[in-house]
Amino acid sequence: MSNKICFIILSHSSYTDIWELLIKSYKEKLTDNIKNIDFYITSDSDVSRKDKALLNENHFNLLLYKKDISWSDALIEIVSKNELNNYNQMLFSFDDLIITKFSEIKFEQAINEMVSNNYKYLKIYNSSHVNIWGKLFNLIKKDPLYEISKLDSYRGNLVFSCWNTTFFKNILNNKELTNLSPWQFEQQINKFIDNDNGYKCVFSNVLEYENVIIKGKVHEKALRKSENITQVNYDMNNREFMSNKETLIYTMKLYIFKVFRQIIPHRLFLF
C-alpha cells in the first residue's frame, strides 16, 4: 500500500502504566510486520525517559495535547496537529485494548478496499455491526466489506476504526462534539454522519484484543492472557483488580449485548 495511514492510540498520562503491555502487543502483531503505517500514542503531558525509550524502540511517536480538557477536545486537538496533515486515513484505538491476534492479510485487503473505493469509514473489528442476518445474506452476495446500516446507532464508533482524514476533520468541526466524555462522543457522533453509503465493516475480524482496564480497574483474566502473549509483567502500580462480582456483571453485560446485537435490529441500540 502506498497510501499514507497513521494509527493513533488515544491515551492519557494516568495510563502510562499500561503502555509497555500495550506497545509490546503492537510490536508483536503490527509494527514489526507492517512498514507503511506510522504509529502514534497520545498524552496530556510529556513522559519519562523510560517511556520515551519504550516508544522509540517500538517505532511509536508521541502526540501531546493540553492538560485539563475534555476527552473529545483532546481528540479534536490531536487530529488537527500538523504532524498528521499528510495522512489520507487515520486509524484509532484506545490504550487499554491489548492486541492478541492480528491478520496482516485481512488488514491489507480491508484497507485496500477502503482506499480504492474512497470509503469514509472502516471498522477492522466487527463489534457486532454485522449481525447473523448480514452474514447469512453475504453467503450469496460475497461482498468483501459490509455496509453498516444507517440505523445502527454505533456507526461512527472509534474502536479500531479507520477514517478518511478530510471527512473526519469535517465532522469534528461540529460544536456539539466538544466537551464530551468518550461515552458521550460515541452517542453524539452518529448524528453528524450523513446517510450516504461508504461506512464499512469487515465480516471477519482483522484482529482480536483484550480489554485490560475497565473503569480504572484491571480485568485479571484479560491481563493474564495479555501478559502471556506479550511476555510483559504488568506493574499494577496503584490499580486494583476488578472484584469477582464486578467481573461477572461486566462479562454478563458484554455477552448479552453481543447476543442482542446479533438478533435485534440495530436501530434499537440507543443506550
Confidence label for 267 from pLDDT (cuts 50, 70 and 90): low
Position 241 pLDDT exceeds 70: yes
Tell me the pLDDT tens digit for each residue of 211-234.
Answer: 999 999 999 999 999 999 999 999
Q: How far apart are CA 13 and CA 170, in angstroms?
A: 28
Vertex 271 angle, CA 68 and 205, to 5°: 85
Position 270 pLDDT exceeds 70: no
Confidence label for 271 from pLDDT (cuts 50, 70 and 90): very low
Tell me the pLDDT tens digit for each residue of 2-42.
Answer: 469 999 999 999 999 999 999 999 988 888 778 789 999 99
Tell me the pLDDT tens digit for each residue of 59-96.
Answer: 999 999 999 999 999 999 999 999 999 999 999 999 99
Single-letter amino acid, residue 19: W
The cell for 224 is 493474564
Give one DSSP letter per residue of 257-270, joined into a string: HHHHHHHS-GGG--
Answer whether 0.85 is exceeded by the pTM.
Answer: yes
Q: By the 8 A CB rule, do 30 and 7 touch?
A: yes
Tell me the pLDDT tens digit for each residue of 115-163.
Answer: 999 999 999 998 777 777 777 777 777 788 999 888 887 888 999 999 9
